[in-house]
């Protein structure tokens, strides 16, 4: 493995490596994991110049602080409105930055959002488990999370210009709090009044929320046919209604099977928006057709296919970097007649 990499200086709980997920093992009871917000994860990877689904650091509200070792590394960050700083100097919440040696990059919880992703222009040189680098911390498959002192080896690193830039990604602005769902597969376990209550009631994200499930507070829903079913397969976004009548939205680290009726399933394009919500925030559910869900997925894919625009952040660059650049492409005598193609307002006359 490479001796070049990212050193974890500090890390709160829930800091992991996530790639596109561990596919093909659900029948063995192994969930796929992967990012909580796939859209932000893919955006960070694309801005770093690596394929969607590549491994990136997933940062929770606990935050993380990093340093480059061996060589400077280019990183891209995207997700919620986290507070990101380089040696204490603030950067935009969606940014590309060259992390030089003996410099510190800090990512802390900000005004909104629960997850942020750090991708590297290169690749994390780690050994896959069952074909993936995704960490499922409950089972320790892929690892138990990132902790202070760890070095994440990086291979094939490369620089990106500009060395500090804002990622222009308007698709990450998702303020709407209506979460779209497809009914079922066990909506027949609830009568019409309960389904209407599920759709019409405001729900509050409780503080019992993690990578496995988000629990919602609100009115108690009752089951028409009991709350136990023969355990069957679950999907990301499955909404179980347990015996207490509260919705449980299964997230990235969901169990492969479950024994509570599932009243509805959150569509894929809205899972990231739900994942970025904070405890205490409210949401509502709205039913859409399968055709509408497919159309939303296509729109999301189309947004990701657009070129990533990087807006340079000159003010965020260190002075030693600026002094090392030739920022002047020529010198003109103040009284020298400008070239003919200069506008008349630039021409000067001697006193």
Residues in contact with 120: Cβ distance below 8 Å, sequence separation at least 6, in sequence order = 6, 48, 50, 56, 73, 74, 75, 154, 157
Residue 2's pLDDT band (boundaries 50, 70, 90)?
low
Assigned CATH class of 178-304: mainly beta
Residue ranges matching CATH 2.40.100.10 in the chain: 178-304
pLDDT per residue as tens digits for the range 182-193:
999 999 999 999
- What whole-number distance in Å separates Cα of residue 178 and Cα of residue 274? 9
The yes-or-no verdict on residue 319 having pLDDT over 80 is no
Quick one: average pLDDT of 282-289? 97
Tell me the pLDDT tens digit for each residue of 74-112.
999 999 999 999 999 999 999 999 999 999 999 999 999
pTM of this structure = 0.88
Is the pLDDT at 330 greater than 50? The verdict is no
CA triple 82-143-5, angle to 5 deg = 65
Among the ranges given (48-57, 255-264, 307-316, 330-339), the one the predictor scored with the smallest mean pLDDT: 330-339
Contacts of 29 (CB under 8 A, 6+ apart): 256, 257
Identify any residues that bridge with 107 across adjacent strands, giving them in sequence order.
64, 84
pLDDT reported for residue 314: 73
pLDDT computed for residue 177 by the predictor: 86
pLDDT by residue (tens digit) across 193-210? 999 999 999 999 999 999
**H-type helices in 191-289, by residue range?**
192-200, 268-275
pLDDT at residue number 311: 95
pLDDT of residue 338: 45
Instruction: Band the pLDDT of 131: cuts 50, 70, 90.
Output: very high
Provide, rounded to the nearest whole percent, the portion of the chain with pLDDT above 70. 89
Q: pLDDT at residue 260 above 70?
A: yes
pLDDT mean across residues, the chain: 89
Q: Stretch 241-255: mean pLDDT, rounded? A: 96
- The pair phi, psi for residue 312, each rounded to 5°, is -55, 145
Nearest to 86 by CA among 338, 335, 334, 319: 319
Tell me what percent of the residues of the chain surpass a pLDDT of 90.
83
**Which of 50-59, 120-129, 170-179, 294-303 has the least mean pLDDT?**
170-179
Least confidently predicted of 170-179, 196-205, 217-226: 170-179
Burial code (b: 16+ CB inside 10 Å, e: under 16) for 188-206 equals ebbeeebbebbeeeebebe
Q: Residue 18 belongs to what H/E stretch?
A: strand 16-18
Coil/strand/helix, residue 48: coil
Question: What's the confidence (pLDDT) of residue 327?
Answer: 42
Residues 205, 275 contacting (CB under 8 angstroms): no
**What is the band of 315 on the pLDDT scale with cuts at 50, 70, 90?**
low
Tell me how far apart the alpha carbons of residues 93 and 330 are, in angstroms, rounded to a whole number: 35
- Biggest alpha carbon distance in the chain? 95
pLDDT of residue 225: 86
Q: What integer is the mean pLDDT of 61-83?
A: 97
């Amino acid at each position: 493995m490479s001796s070049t990499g990212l050193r974890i200086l500090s890390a709160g709980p829930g800091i992991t490596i996530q790639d596109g997920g561990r596919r093909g093992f659900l029948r063995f009871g192994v969930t796929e994991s992967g990012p909580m917000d796939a859209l932000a994860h893919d955006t960070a990877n694309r801005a770093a110049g690596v394929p969607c689904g590549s491994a990136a650091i997933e940062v929770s509200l606990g935050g993380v602080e990093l340093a480059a070792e061996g060589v400077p590394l280019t990183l891209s960050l995207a997700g919620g409105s986290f507070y990101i700083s380089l040696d204490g100097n603030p950067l935009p919440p969606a940014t590309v930055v060259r992390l030089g040696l003996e410099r510190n990059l800090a990512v802390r919880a900000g005004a909104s959002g629960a997850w942020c992703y750090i991708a590297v222009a290169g690749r994390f040189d780690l050994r896959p488990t069952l074909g993936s680098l995704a960490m499922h911390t409950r089972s320790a498959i892929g690892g138990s999370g990132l902790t202070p002192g760890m070095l994440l080896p990086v291979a094939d690193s490369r620089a990106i210009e500009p060395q500090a830039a804002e990622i222009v990604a308007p698709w990450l602005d998702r303020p709407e709090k209506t979460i779209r769902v497809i009914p079922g597969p066990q909506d027949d376990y609830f009568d019409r009044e309960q389904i209407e209550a599920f759709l019409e009631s405001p729900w509050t994200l409780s503080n019992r929320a993690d990578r496995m499930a988000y629990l919602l507070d609100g009115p108690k829903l009752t089951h028409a046919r009991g709350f136990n079913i023969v355990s069957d397969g679950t999907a990301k976004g499955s909404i179980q209604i347990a015996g207490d009548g509260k919705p449980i939205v299964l997230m990235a680290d969901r169990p492969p099977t479950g024994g509570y009726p599932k009243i509805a399933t959150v569509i894929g394009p809205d899972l990231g928006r739900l994942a970025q919500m904070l405890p205490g925030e409210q949401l509502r559910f709205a039913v859409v057709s399968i055709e509408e869900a497919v159309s939303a997925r296509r729109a999301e894919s189309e947004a990701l296919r657009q070129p990533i625009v990087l807006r340079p952040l000159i003010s965020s660059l260190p002075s030693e970097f600026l002094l090392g650049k030739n920022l002047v492409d020529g010198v003109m005598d103040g009284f020298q007649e400008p070239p003919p193609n200069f506008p008349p307002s630039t021409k000067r006359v001697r006193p």
